Amino acid sequence: MHDPAEMPVRLAAFLAGEEPEATDIEVTSYEVMTGGYSRLLAKATVHWTIAGGRRQETFVLRGDPPPDRSLIHTDRAIEWDVLRAVEGRTNIARPRYIDRTGGRLGTRAIVLDYVPSASLLPHMASLADHSHLPDPLAEAAASFHTIPLEEVPASLARPESWEAYMAGRIDEWRATSAAHVESLPILRYVAAWLHAHLPPPVPLSLIHGDFQSANLMIDEHGRIVVLDWELAQIGDPREDLGYFKAVAQAAGPDLTGLDAEAFCARYRALTGFSEAELNPAVLAYFLILGVVGTVRRLLEGGAEFALGTNHLLASVFNLNSIQFGHAMWLSVSRQLEAALVSTKGA
């Protein structure tokens, strides 16, 4: 998918198969896009005659890298199902086509509309004032957190209950510790701490799973565009907010913390959550819980690199974030002790 000499012909043939009535298909440009953290990305401009007229469209191709160059392993078909479920509810790049087998585009890939917008992280870096951004962030998260579960793709596993889901997420810390090549007592400490300070339950919902500024863009209307749904699952929606907060400690600003009370209030107004269910202390609890999937995958990637089954140097480089996390988890857990006890008492 990263061969500009080959892909225009492949893409034109693919589009002809997807749109049999289209004629005079020309892929006039094809360029590899930087910034793809776990998937291959490319941008293509297509001129074709379709729906009775000649038109120009720009697409983004999002596909799987070779197995030994993959940072994480996810399923494009499930990601496609999720994109179709959130389309029209959440501001996303519109999903157009999918190559489920990789036989036509060279790898399993999704073709999306190109969205003219700016990546949120550099956009924030260019601003002196970020006070207008927390509300759109809360609105973006709430837009898919409030989708009824019966409308969420059946390809996503359904936890038995909130209690069972939380127990599983906390046990993931213990399992990650047990599976690692050396002892990491901090992972067992985090699991025990999370279990001892459970927040009030809320209804499970669709969650993005990697809700951070690097996967968000801002369009010309000031709305957040949510990208990269490969880690979507059904879980506690507060995980997405906590994960955003966690990543923002290293790549700020933290839009959830500029005015944490106001951010929580806006999200509560959109979702119907109570103040006990979401407040700054509960949000910070999910700063810890929400990163467990990333911690597991990064440690697995480092182990695969050491075993020679993964040749992606980023798998080793990204282990630095685990060390950063150690200090963050300890600091947050200590700061939250009194606040969480007070919240439970209320």
Q: What is the DSSP string of 132-146?
A: TSHHHHHHHHHHHHT
| Count of the separate structural domains present in the chain | 2
Q: Does some domain include residue 73? A: yes
> What is the distance between the alpha carbons of residues 292 and 300, in angstroms, rounded to a whole number?
12
Give pLDDT, residue 260: 96
Pairing relationship of beta strands 205-207 and 95-99 according to DSSP bridges = unpaired
Give pLDDT, residue 36: 65
Q: Out of 55, 85, 114, pick the residue that ends a domain.
A: 114
Q: Are 129 and 91 members of one domain?
A: no
Q: Out of 99, 114, 129, pick the residue that ends a domain.
A: 114
Q: What is the pLDDT along the chain (346 residues), one digit of tens a residue?
A: 788 899 999 999 999 999 999 999 999 999 999 866 789 999 999 999 998 899 999 999 999 998 877 777 899 999 999 999 999 999 999 999 999 999 999 999 999 999 999 999 999 999 999 999 999 999 999 999 999 999 999 999 999 999 999 999 999 989 888 887 777 888 899 999 999 999 999 999 999 999 999 999 999 899 999 999 999 999 999 999 999 999 998 888 999 999 999 999 999 999 999 999 999 999 999 999 988 877 777 777 777 777 788 777 777 666 667 777 777 888 888 888 777 664 454 4
Q: Are 106 and 125 members of one domain?
A: no
Give pLDDT, residue 341: 60
Q: Are 156 and 284 members of one domain?
A: yes
Q: Is-above-0.75 flag for pTM?
A: yes
Cα separation values, 205 from 137, 154, 221, 264, 272, Å: 17, 13, 27, 18, 13
Q: Are 192 and 258 members of one domain?
A: yes
Domain that holds residue 225: 118-345
Give pLDDT, residue 42: 96
Give pLDDT, residue 69: 76
Place of tokens 């157009």: 96
Q: Out of 114, 137, 169, pick the residue that ends a domain.
A: 114
